[in-house]
């Protein structure tokens, strides 16, 4: 069945799905890391900013420049970044 949707309707659906899935993904990562392998910290931009005593804007800048490795769990228009502690350590080592 085909349901015609406008680009704005698709964007709204994508944003709602992202808002629902990111917390579930974070919880799943935490459960998996505790259950099956050594602890792997999944950090948010806020976590990294607090840890390094930088602003969140600076962390976003470093991600955009490729200086800090991060994974986008959101969309291009509304990114939701997550980083590992190893990525932060690698960033500091440069």
- Tens digit of each residue's pLDDT (9 = 90 or more) over 4-45: 888 888 888 888 887 888 888 788 777 766 655 555 678 999
CATH number (domain holding residue 39): 1.10.1660
pLDDT value of position 39? 57
Residue 61 within any structural domain of the chain: yes
- DSSP code at position 15: H
Give the 3-state secondary structure of residue 88.
helix
Residue 2 within any structural domain of the chain: no
pTM > 0.95? no
Domain total of the chain: 1
Quote the domain boundaries for residue 53. Answer: 7-93
């Amino acid at each position: 069945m085909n349901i015609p949707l406008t680009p704005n309707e698709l964007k709204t659906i994508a944003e709602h799905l992202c808002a629902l899935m990111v917390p579930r993904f974070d919880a799943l990562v935490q459960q998996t890391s505790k259950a099956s392998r050594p602890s792997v910290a999944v950090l948010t931009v806020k976590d990294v900013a607090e840890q390094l005593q930088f602003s969140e804007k600076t962390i976003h800048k470093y991600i955009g420049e490729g200086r800090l490795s991060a994974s986008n769990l959101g969309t291009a228009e509304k990114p939701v970044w997550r980083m590992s502690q190893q990525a932060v350590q690698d960033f500091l080592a440069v």
